[in-house]
Amino acid sequence: MESKIDPLDHELAAHPAHTTTALVQPPHGLALAELALAVGGFAIGTAEFAAMGILPEVASDLHVTIPEAGHMISAYALGVVVGAPLITILLARMPRRALLIVLMLLYAVGNGATALLHHYGLMLVSRFVAGLPHGAYFGLAALAAAALVPPHKRGAAIGKVMLGLSVANVIGVPAATWLGQALGWQACFAGVALIALFTAGMIAYTVPPLPMARKASPLTELGAFKRPQVLLTLLACAIGFGGIFSVYSYVASTLTQVTGMSAQHVPFALGLLGVGMIVGNIACGWFADRWLERTMLGWYGFTVVMLLVFVVAAPHLWAVLPVLFGIGVASACNPAFQSRLMDVAGDAQSLAAALNHSAFNIANALGAWLGGMAIAAGLGWTSTGWVGAILAVLGIVVVLWSFGLERRTLQTA
């Protein structure tokens, strides 16, 4: 039976120096437990982003247009936004390790159904189902990683778990896209389903029973919505991170239309962006453990610079490639914001962590929408960099608002 002690209690999070050791120890070593959690992120990242690369095959096979096939991406994103809070609230009393396993099994079911169903409407339903565990898994995986290490190392631990998502962009997405093109698009999702099943087994074997909040309940988790600092942190994610997606959503077209890169070389350029994400996750976790507030502000500031430089560098191949690497680094801000949520969520840790990924998906939609509006208005492909920089600046404004409000609250307490 899992312990009822909360390793991420608000008071402990606010005073991490009070403890120097992890509260739970993995039975087969920390590295294997972190790897298991990261493999789940690898599966999720592969399925989420590979879907964009196999739209022509899906459209041809199901006899729909490419925009109609693109609805599978929207259905998945909707599942993420709905599933993250819903699953976390309804299953608040389920032990965290058991819930992680259930979420991976649900992810396997959703992707397995996509691979087996040969009907457009049912395929959309299966993508919605596959999206449901996405946010809840990443949120709980971050909490699990933090519980396995001393509090002053939690940022680095979260960064290691998020490496699965970054590696998916470098290895998983190209491999899944190739598999889908060679053996049919269903093979891509079948492969992800198998990885999800493998992950569930790895978690059961390597991750110890995880402590739960003392008063874990749906009502307790809903308390996250009453905390201004939680809402401001989520708003900062949804707006500021939207700047990255403003450029990322149209980077392939920008590279072919502005840089003059051939279509077959675009995946290599995107792979460079993925390498930047890997470096960024490691670096952001390290910095967040030492200077959390400065890291949040600095990361968004770096994002502003990279997106503005992208506007100038886009016409030149020699210049745009290192900028893409820098944008990848800038996109890996999750360890810092996840750590911030742990500090301000109090006893609503699970919901706040899951909502973080709903916020990132809102950022995805917001950035793509505003970037598309700029292109449609005739401002050119590189206008996405200006849009993205503005969003990142607004993210900085919200972060400063959050810090200022927190200091005023402490002064009047």
For 299-332, the pLDDT digits (tens) are 999 999 999 999 999 999 999 999 999 999 998 8
Q: How confident is the model at residue 87 (pLDDT cuts 50, 70, 90)?
A: confident
Average pLDDT value for residue range 256-278? 85
Smallest Cα–Cα separation from 211: which of 18, 19, 30, 350?
A: 350
What is the number of other CB atoms lying within 10 angstroms of the CB of residue 350? Answer: 29
Residue 386 has pLDDT above 90, yes or no: yes
Q: pLDDT tens-digit profile of 37-63?
A: 999 999 998 888 777 667 778 888 999
Q: What is the mean pLDDT of residues 255-278?
A: 85
pLDDT of residue 51: 78
Which of 52-61, 108-117, 187-196, 227-236 bottoms out in mean pLDDT, i.e. has the lowest?
52-61
Model confidence at 10: pLDDT above 50: no
The rounded distance, in Å, linking the Cα atoms of 334 and 317 is: 29
Question: Which band of pLDDT confidence, cut at 50, 70 and 90, is reported for residue 402?
Answer: very high
Share of the chain above pLDDT 70, in %: 90
pLDDT above 60 (res 406): yes
* Band of residue 254 on the pLDDT scale cut at 50, 70, 90: confident
Residue 127 pLDDT class (50, 70, 90 cuts): very high
Whole-angstrom Cα distance, residue 213 to residue 199?
25
Domains and CATH numbers, the chain: 1-216 (1.20.1250.20), 223-413 (1.20.1250.20)
Q: Is 268 left (phi over 0), alpha (psi -120 to 50) or beta?
A: alpha
Band (pLDDT 50/70/90 cuts) for residue 29 is confident
Say what the pLDDT of residue 197 is: 97
* pLDDT band at residue 135 using 50, 70 and 90 as cut-offs: confident
Q: What is the mean pLDDT of residues 295-301?
A: 93
